[in-house]
Amino acid sequence: MPDRVIVTGGAGFIGSHVVDALLAAGYEPVVVDDLSSGSRENLPADVRLHRLDIRDGDSLGKVFDQTRPRFVCHQAAQMSVSRSVREPLFDAAVNVTGLLNVFDRASRTGCERIVFASSGGVLYGDVSEPVAEDYPAAPVSPYGISKWVGEKYLDFYTRERGLSGVALRYSNVYGPRQNPHGEAGVVAIFCTRMLAAQPSIINGDGKYIRDYVYVGDVARANLLAMETSLPEAFVPLNIGTSRPTDVNELSQRLHRLCTEARESAELSGKVPKSSHGPARAGDLRSNLVSYAKAEHLLGWYPQVELESGLAHTVRWFAEHRPELV
């Protein structure tokens, strides 16, 4: 019998790639997702999906009792910073109470390790050099605060309940299946607009530096974080590339790739160059993470270069959103 892994948020962007990586490694992934932003289509047909909200502790408890997973990969979250500012209670209900439901059920049903999707961007804030995990966390938004609290709770469960935990602090993740309708996910937003030859807007001067990491690399990090034996019960690890890219450069690369995709599909109409709009309040100027600790402890490092990751992403959006091309 293959080992079971519960993936919360497994029908979403990153979670569905974790599911693919688990299947390839011979595990049986079991997905818990309310499909609020994820989709059944992101999953292979034979993967079991329990459609439920992690705030519903009783239903979640039944799934854990039935499944008795060896590992839990907690990706489900309310992940809009602006919604967290408008509705901090909703953010905490999903990202704190829902998370506690998951951690608590996991600890009662024999789970060995929980891997939790945290965030480098919201914990470290504005930093001009890649920072390590011991850089002081200073979350500002309720979303950032709830990610920080989630890590603290994971640390608590590892000390009190005999399981181990890894918090993966992702930088900016991009790749196939990313939702282009959210506020984040600039690659997905630009891809869909540019492939449809629609104008795209860069916020402010576009000199906003980010650390873009390909989703396949992130999925591999999740698998390694489950399987690798670690020196401490709770370990936070940055997952990023340490490579700075600003939004202007990203837009230029995507413009070229989307233009080529339209030309090879023999579509008429030029892809407009992005124009600049007003700056968005609260956007960080620069955010980069160091992945040295993940490399040291997991043997993980980013394998997909930005250019090939973007090319792969453009191809996926061109194939899967044909009405836009």
Ligand X SMILES: NC(=O)c1ccc[n+]([C@@H]2O[C@H](COP(=O)([O-])OP(=O)(O)OC[C@H]3O[C@@H](n4cnc5c(N)ncnc54)[C@H](O)[C@@H]3O)[C@@H](O)[C@H]2O)c1
User: What would the two tokens of residue 104 be?
Assistant: 């608590």
Report the residue number, 141 or 274, with the smaller CB distance to ligand X: 141
Rounded alpha-carbon distances, angstroms, from residue 59 to 33, 66, 114? 12, 11, 19
- Smallest separation, CB 266 to ligand X (Å): 32
Identity at 192, one-letter amino acid code? T
The first and second tokens of residue 114, run together, are: 């929980």
Give the binding range for ligand X (CB under 6 A) out of 171-179, 228-236, 276-284, 314-322. Answer: 171-179
Quick one: 271 or 289, whose CB is closer to ligand X?
289
The residue among 78 and 200 lying less far from ligand X, judged by its C-beta, is 78
Cβ atoms within 10 Å, residue 56: 13
Query: Coil, strand or helix: which one is 154?
Result: helix
Return the H-helix or E-strand segment holding 169: strand 164-170
3-state secondary structure of 3: coil
CB closer to ligand X, 184 vs 197: 184
Nearer residue to ligand X within complex by CB, 150 or 206: 150
User: Is 33 an interacting residue with respect to ligand X (CB under 6 A)?
Assistant: yes
Distance, CA of 235 to CA of 226 (rounded, Å): 11
Q: Does 139 bind ligand X (CB under 6 A)?
A: no
36 binds ligand X (CB under 6 A): yes
Q: Which of 37, 158, 200, 274 binds ligand X (CB under 6 A)?
A: 37
Across the beta sheet with 234-239, the strand order is 48-51, 28-33, 4-8, 71-74, 113-119, 164-170, 234-239
Q: Is 117 in the site for ligand X (CB under 6 A)?
A: yes
- The continuous run of DSSP H or E covering 48 comes out as strand 48-51
8-27 footprint of ligand X as x/- string (CB under 6 A)? -x-xxxxx------------
For ligand X (CB under 6 A), the number of binding residues is 28
Looking at 98, 125, 144, 236, which residue binds ligand X (CB under 6 A)?
98
| Residue 57 DSSP class | H
- Binding-site string for ligand X from residue 56 to residue 95, where x marks contact by CB under 6 A and - marks none: -------------------xxxxx--------------x-
Half-sphere exposure of 41 (CA within 13 A, CB side): 7
Comparing CA positions, the residue from 66, 84, 80, 81 lying closest to residue 30 is 66
In whole angstroms, the minimum distance from the beta carbon of 33 to ligand X comes to 4
Catalytic residue IDs: 143
Binding region for ligand X (CB under 6 A): 9, 11-15, 33-38, 53-55, 75-79, 94, 98, 117, 119, 170, 172-173, 179
